[in-house]
Amino acid sequence: MFEDNKALIRQYLAALSGKDKPESIVNIYVSDEKLRQHIKQFESAFPRYKLTLDDMIAEGNKVAVRATWHGIHKGEFMGIQPTSKQVALTGILIYRIVNGRIVDHWMSFDNLELMRQFGVIPDD
């Protein structure tokens, strides 16, 4: 089961990373409505954003990933108008999988660092 769940997350990332993210593709992997909305929001602000898999572990029906997220700020995000800046953040994502689909998720990224990369707050 662990290896199947890890394979699903690898397929999910490969299907979406650096590409358009149409609902039809997202829905193959994701039944978690919050994650669907998150993908839509980020795709709008950072078209064709990428997630690079750095580490992955699995236990039970959960898969934890350390990944580096890359995007170009082309749309409004958190009230900030597009900056056209390339940004990159490392974060932790945990997916809960049931019947071959992501049904829940938790993620943590450093939003303060993102604001620094946008140039909204100073580097120091």
pLDDT digit string, tens, across residues 15-55: 999 998 999 999 999 999 999 999 999 999 999 999 999 99
Q: Which residue has the higher pLDDT, 123 or 27?
A: 27
- Compute the C-alpha angle 40/64/1, nearest 5°: 105
pLDDT of 1 higher than 80: no
Q: State the pLDDT at residue 46.
A: 96
- Averaged pLDDT, 103-112: 95
Q: State the pLDDT at residue 122.
A: 84
Sign (positive or negative) of CA dihedral 85, 119, 107, 89: positive
pTM over 0.85: yes
pLDDT digit string, tens, across residues 45-86: 999 999 999 999 999 999 999 999 999 999 999 999 999 999
- Averaged pLDDT, 88-99: 97
Please report where in the chains the tokens 């029906």 appear, as a residue.
61
Q: What is residue 99's three-state secondary structure?
A: coil
When pLDDT is cut at 50, 70 and 90, the band that residue 123 belongs to is: confident
Contacts of 86 (CB under 8 A, 6+ apart): 70, 71, 72
Report the CATH number of the 2-118 domain: 3.10.450.50
Closest CA relative to residue 72, chosen from 30, 44, 38, 104 = 44
Q: State the pLDDT at residue 50.
A: 96
Q: State the pLDDT at residue 2.
A: 72
Domain residue ranges in the chain: 2-118
